[in-house]
Structure 1
Amino acid sequence: MATHSEGDRPLRIALLSYKGNPWCGGQGVYVRHLSRELTALGHRVEVIGAQPYPVLDPGVPLTELPSLDLYRDPDPFRTPGAGEFRDWIDALEFAIMRTGGFPEPLTFSLRARRLLAARRGDFDVVHDNQTLGYGLMGAGPLTGPDAVPPQVTTIHHPITVDRRLELAAAPDLGRRLSLRRWYAFTRMQKRVARRLETVLTVSHTSRSEIIDDLGVRPHRIHVVPIGADTTIFRPDPAEPVVPGRIVTTSSADVPLKGLVHLVEALAKLRTEHPAAHLVVVGSRPGRGPVAEALERFGLEGAVEFVKGIDDAELARLIRGARVACVPSLYEGFSLPAAEAMATGTPLVATTGGAVPEVAGPDGETCLAVPPGDAGALAVAIGRLLTDDGLCARIGAAGRERVLGRFTWERAARSTVEHYRTAIATRAPRSPGVRG
């Protein structure tokens, strides 16, 4: 039987995910790919998740931690039946929702704390994926037979950034008041973040935002870039490219994603490139700025929305596009940029947030434009629609950048190093003492 030294023994990892569906945002993508790669390295990973439950690869077990699932389709903000309430946490979840707040980070953390307390001794480390709830703070003694395992937390970017951008775009006082209530959970996340010993984040931009917005001490924050599954997101010369096709990923119709600016750019493009059309990986908004722009510019027939596709289908869609685009005003990393570059499809990306850390230098691995500038987007996309040589050069350089910097295996190995450091440096002090 093989033996392992303390420095390389397989770890028992609890990976917490309060929102893990890979089709409703980057957190689900992170949980799926990281858990797979940690398992491939020989570690025992157990994902503990709430609805929408994570979709995991074979060999990665999921422990379901049910909530009231108050935001599920097709009846979001629903009123549960009396028989659905199991305990006081359910009642709290419903009460916060009915008063306009977002309860899931808090209530998931409380349920997770209860489960981890019942299974004390089962895990070497607990990895929280941006829950930042009170239930995960000071959950038990740090030493002795009842000690809780060290906790490592990933903060992709502070949700306070989303809050700022949405408030700035709010059309009236009523909407601003509603947003302030919805984002009230960010006060909790700030308090919890300042108590964390080990924080992982995905870019240097996010690291700066976490320091400034959440007040986490710099020495506690470590950058671990994530990346693309380069075995699926890869070039395929046999895949036909559809002339004029532009593809983008927009998991939500929120100002942060900048989709409305890409729609405006498409309207400009089509005056000179009538074949230009857009495929959006995400849900079609029924109302709001994007829906209004589609109607205003008469683009209903030139924009297609697709959702619920798997990685292989997404890779084929990106490979079949002439141009991939990331129009975001801000990103903490930008998985869509890494995945597009990995396929060899040339990328147009903004300089919002951490996008340049992923996409690389303008004119080398992408064409970079200022965030929120529809005219600049139209010009850059137009260049790629008409210059085969530029497309080939930027597409090839983008693929090489991802292979060298942004793969899930690299992310998993670096994450394990931080797990081991957290385990080795666990100090015998009170959970209320700050370092």
Structure 2
Amino acid sequence: MVIDIDASRATIEQRTGTERYSREVIAALDRLAPPQISLRLYINGGRERLPPLSSRVVIRDVRLPRLWTHLRLGPTSWLARPHVLFVPAHVVPLLHPPTVVTIHDVGYRVFPAAHTARRRLELELTTYWSVRAARHVLTISHATKRDLVAWYGVDPQRITVTHLGVSAGFAPPADPQAIAEVRMRYGIHRRPYVLYIGTVQPRKNLVRVIDALARTLTAGYDLDLVIAGKQGWLSEPIVRRAAELGITHHVHFTGYVADADLPALLAGAQAFVFPSLYEGFGMPVLEAMACGTPVITSTMSSLPEVAGDAALLVDPLDTDAIAWAIMRLCGDENLRTDLRWRGLARVRQFTWEECARRTLEVLTAV
């Protein structure tokens, strides 16, 4: 059996959740697939950024600057006649062999203000096409599955949920000095801090997080907020909000943080704050738990499904609730310890091996 895989997302240098998923699930499929299954990866350059793979994996670098999915991936795979094509991120090529696609979220439906009108139309059309063109659809949460059934009329029998895992590097640092070094490197060593990691964009609810920090400071807590991630669409009002409140010396925008620095950055935080308005899964929540960091997250979309009873859940539209959760965690060492242990236990339920096993079941069935 031959499985073709769109590996283009796995070669992206600055990885966010979708790219991390592509990279990890490909590596886990390579580890788990039996010898009679061949894996053939298609990339658009960046071969050196693929994960370590076995010698049985064939890599085809078919480059094209634009429209790569439709003009390179689709025709090349179709001519190669695999048993199935696996697309880990959203878009099925117009010309394709039997295909399985992963739809991560439909956030543009829930929070349209986070996208331009052109981008919303593009996402709408590609999702509508992909869920109809694919033989089977994977989603990374039950929340996204419900969205596809409700908004796109997809038969729930054609959707399989494959929860994501936690990458091996996310764990409490063995050397406490690593935390001190990362704090010095990013200039966040002066005060205790709460941390957000992810793209800086409106649906991440960061304006309310900054407002909540201001209320926490007014209540007498001497804290910083560290916002780690590259700036996305409509990030300017988020950056500007700290200046409007006069707390710029308490809010640090680090930009994109390399994977190697994330565990120490997480482990050094008083709390990880992630009250997003919408998430297809919310991988940073699990990564924070894996590093022993107490988590504050949202009651919306997939986040309760991921966090379980191992985090403080807050209404993301209630700034006072976010501020209260920050103050409660920073002021209660027993609560921090309890959530730390709950989080470490919770993440053991999410592995890339299980994600890949369920994915492989679907691919072989198709």
TM-score, normalising length: structure 2: 0.85
Counterpart for residue 74 of structure 1 = none
Shift, 1:124, TM fit: 3.6
Aligned to 2:215, the other structure's residue is in SS state: helix
Counterpart for residue 127 of structure 1 = 86
* In 1, Cα distance between equivalents of 2:207 and 2:46: 27
Aligned residues of 1:134 and 1:188 also touching (Cα < 8 A): no
Shift, 1:24, TM fit: 4.9
Shift, 1:415, TM fit: 1.2
Counterpart for residue 48 of structure 1 = 42
2:32 is aligned with 1:35: no
Q: Structure 2 vs 1, CA of residues 153 and 274 (structure 1 numbering), >3 Å: closer, same or farther? A: same
Residue type at the aligned position of 2:112? E
2:290 is aligned with 1:342: yes
Q: Structure 2 vs 1, CA of residues 307 and 395 (structure 1 numbering), >3 Å: closer, same or farther? A: same
Counterpart for residue 297 of structure 1 = 245
* In 2, Cα distance between equivalents of 1:377 and 1:300: 19
Task: Judging by fraction of residues, say which structure has more helix.
Answer: 2
Shift, 1:312, TM fit: 3.0
Counterpart for residue 147 of structure 2 = 209
Deviations 1:350-408 (A, max 9, x none): 112100001113xxx111001222221111011111111110111111110110x2111
Unaligned runs of 5+ in 1: 1-10, 69-89, 91-103, 140-147, 170-177, 423-435
2:330 is aligned with 1:385: yes
Aligned to 2:344, the other structure's residue is in SS state: helix
Aligned pairs for 1:88-127 (under 5 A) are 90=66, 108-120=69-81, 123-127=82-86
2:343 is aligned with 1:398: yes
Aligned residues of 1:17 and 1:47 also touching (Cα < 8 A): yes
Q: Structure 2 vs 1, CA of residues 17 and 327 (structure 1 numbering), >3 Å: closer, same or farther? A: farther
Aligned to 2:300, the other structure's residue is in SS state: coil
2:229 is aligned with 1:270: no
Aligned to 1:325, the other structure's residue is in SS state: strand
Q: Structure 2 vs 1, CA of residues 359 and 13 (structure 1 numbering), >3 Å: closer, same or farther? A: same
Shift, 1:238, TM fit: 4.8
Aligned to 1:349, the other structure's residue is in SS state: strand
Shift, 1:325, TM fit: 1.4
Counterpart for residue 310 of structure 1 = 258
- Percent sequence identity is 29
Counterpart for residue 4 of structure 1 = none
Aligned with 2:118 (options 181, 197, 205): 181
Aligned residues of 1:261 and 1:374 also touching (Cα < 8 A): yes
* In 1, Cα distance between equivalents of 2:220 and 2:169: 31
Shift, 1:56, TM fit: 2.2
Residue type at the aligned position of 1:220? R
* In 1, Cα distance between equivalents of 2:298 and 2:136: 30
* In 2, Cα distance between equivalents of 1:153 and 1:400: 30
Residue type at the aligned position of 1:233? F
Kindly name which structure, 1 or 2, has the bigger radius of gyration based on alpha carbons: 1
Q: Structure 2 vs 1, CA of residues 342 and 217 (structure 1 numbering), >3 Å: closer, same or farther? A: same
* In 2, Cα distance between equivalents of 1:287 and 1:227: 28
Aligned residues of 1:133 and 1:192 also touching (Cα < 8 A): yes
Residue type at the aligned position of 1:228? V
2:45 is aligned with 1:58: no
Aligned with 1:165 (options 111, 130, 138): 111
Deviations 1:303-354 (A, max 9, x none): 2233443333111110111101112100011000011111111000011210
Deviations 1:177-198 (A, max 9, x none): x932222222242133123221
Aligned to 1:339, the other structure's residue is in SS state: helix
Aligned with 2:353 (options 399, 402, 409): 409
Aligned residues of 2:27 and 2:51 also touching (Cα < 8 A): yes
* In 1, Cα distance between equivalents of 2:87 and 2:101: 5
Counterpart for residue 192 of structure 1 = 130
* In 2, Cα distance between equivalents of 1:189 and 1:358: 24
* In 2, Cα distance between equivalents of 1:375 and 1:45: 51
Aligned to 1:194, the other structure's residue is in SS state: helix
Counterpart for residue 373 of structure 1 = 318
2:170 is aligned with 1:225: no
Aligned residues of 1:227 and 1:407 also touching (Cα < 8 A): yes
Unaligned runs of 5+ in 2: 181-188
* In 2, Cα distance between equivalents of 1:15 and 1:256: 30
TM-score, normalising length: structure 1: 0.72
RMSD: 2.6
Aligned to 2:128, the other structure's residue is in SS state: helix
Deviations 1:130-184 (A, max 9, x none): 3334514xx3xxxxxxxx4x321111112xx3244133x7xxxxxxxx9322222
- Higher alpha-carbon deviation: 376-385 or 304-313: 304-313
Aligned residues of 1:32 and 1:55 also touching (Cα < 8 A): no
Residue type at the aligned position of 2:319? A
Aligned to 1:15, the other structure's residue is in SS state: strand
Counterpart for residue 281 of structure 1 = 228
Greater relative contact order structure (CA < 8 Å, 6+ sep): 2
